Amino acid sequence: MTNKINIAIIQFPGSNTERETLMACRRVGLNPVEFLWNEPAEKLSDFDGIIIVGGFAYEDRSRAGVIAALDPIMKQIKLEAKNGKPVLGICNGAQILVESGLVPGLANHRVGIAITDNKRVKDGHVLGVGYYNTWANLQLTASAGRCTFTRHLKTGDFINVPLAHGEGRFIIPHELLEKMITNEQTVFRYCDNNGIISDEFPTNPNGSMHNLAAVCNPKGNVMAMMPHPERTENGDTIFSSMKDYIENGNPISSHTLSFDRPHYEVKNYESNGDSTEWIIEMIITDNEAASVHNALNHLGFDVSITRQTHWEISTDGERDSILQKIDKTGELYNSNKEFISQTTSAKNTASFLVRQKEDMIGRAKFESLTERFEIDGISEIKRGVIWNVTVNSGNLENVLGNLLDTHILFNPLSHECYRIN
């Protein structure tokens, strides 16, 4: 390496904002170098800093960021962060930092927070869910020198940058959030054009708790940021601050963070006898299940994975007639590549039903069926995913317990998980 300040631009399969990130780094005098996820990870020790770019790593399979968070390269990134190097995760990169436990920075990189589906709320009503693309104001609410990436800003300053994501809503346990606020780890919050912070859409574009747009680790050298500062010169202070931090010898703070999150207990599933359950299976290859299968195999689990979609349909009218109408819409499954099946009963196999605690997809499907298709008699639609885990070797319950601890199937802060069999 030369005397230049070299920044590794980490690209996973599906990353797509490396060009904008390269340009932003060059504008402030940094030397960005594209670094693929499958290159020798130890080469990262030659770099002065790391940026994990946005996009859709591994196509957001299972959920955004989790497959990449379990990739071997993340072990080296954790080591570089521990040594004080700056690590910035933008959008999908932020999701990866959250799922890897690099933020908020609990002991042993335990997962402490979640980034989940958007929810646009105004006057107590949900106006929309899912992907949203806009410009947003981000106000610095921590001390300017508290975080590596804010050294060229002042507390109260706000920058106007674009955002584009479907899963950008921070969820944090209240006790942990209070500790992070006290610790000045809640770096940027969404505000309006006058700098006023309001938990209403459009000021808060995704329903994020505490209007959070970016959070950092206790030392301040790792930041997860959902909006895209690299896409505009308005965000250049993020990168120039990173440069300043490196030039001054990576002066990390001595802050710490502790939080004892209760262990999540997977409950046995009890079906609602008054509702209808559709178990949807794919005719074509399920790439999402294949990615989870491969990731677990790389982690040393001798398991096989399949996946099904689970719909729970509650009605208050003539059930058969209502179900026929729903079936004809194609809203809940695509008959060209999916079919209604049943839960598996294979040997050495356990099935887990995973649902969002706030089921945005189920809500959206309910609204589509009742408003767009004008089907009467539907009272509720719930959507979930069934993960079927076949243990090929080892003690079934021990393997399942260790597998669930990876959080690859669900994040306990944003999901509910039930064991079906």
| Rounded CA separation 420/172 (Å) | 28
| Rounded CA separation 357/5 (Å) | 43
Q: What is the reported pTM? A: 0.91
Question: Residue 326: inside a domain, yes or no?
Answer: yes
**Structural domain of residue 353, as residue ranges?**
267-419
Of the pLDDT bands very low, low, confident and very high (cuts 50, 70, 90), residue 295 is very high
Question: Residue 254: inside a domain, yes or no?
Answer: no
- In total, how many domains does the chain have? 2
| Rounded CA separation 400/373 (Å) | 41
Q: What is the pLDDT of residue 2?
A: 56
Looking at the fold, whether 135 and 284 belong to one and the same domain comes out as no
Residues in contact with 281: Cβ distance below 8 Å, sequence separation at least 6, in sequence order: 308, 338, 339, 340, 341
Does residue 359 carry a pLDDT above 60?
yes
Q: What is the pLDDT of residue 261?
A: 76
As a whole number of Å, the CA-based R_g of the chain is 22
Looking at the fold, whether 293 and 387 belong to one and the same domain comes out as yes
Of the pLDDT bands very low, low, confident and very high (cuts 50, 70, 90), residue 71 is very high
Question: Residue 257: inside a domain, yes or no?
Answer: no
Question: Residue 364: inside a domain, yes or no?
Answer: yes
Q: Tell me the percentage of the chain whose pLDDT exceeds 70.
A: 100
Of the pLDDT bands very low, low, confident and very high (cuts 50, 70, 90), residue 143 is very high
Residues in contact with 153: Cβ distance below 8 Å, sequence separation at least 6, in sequence order: 140, 144, 159, 237, 241
Question: Residue 259: inside a domain, yes or no?
Answer: no
Averaged pLDDT of the chain: 94
Looking at the fold, whether 230 and 313 belong to one and the same domain comes out as no
Question: Residue 39: inside a domain, yes or no?
Answer: yes
Q: What is the CATH number of the domain that holds 98?
A: 3.40.50.880
Question: Residue 252: inside a domain, yes or no?
Answer: no
Where a domain ends, among 247, 281, 310? Answer: 247
Known catalytic residues are 91, 228, 230
Looking at the fold, whether 232 and 273 belong to one and the same domain comes out as no
Looking at the fold, whether 179 and 134 belong to one and the same domain comes out as yes
| Rounded CA separation 262/258 (Å) | 13
| Rounded CA separation 230/54 (Å) | 10
Tokens of 137: 């104001």
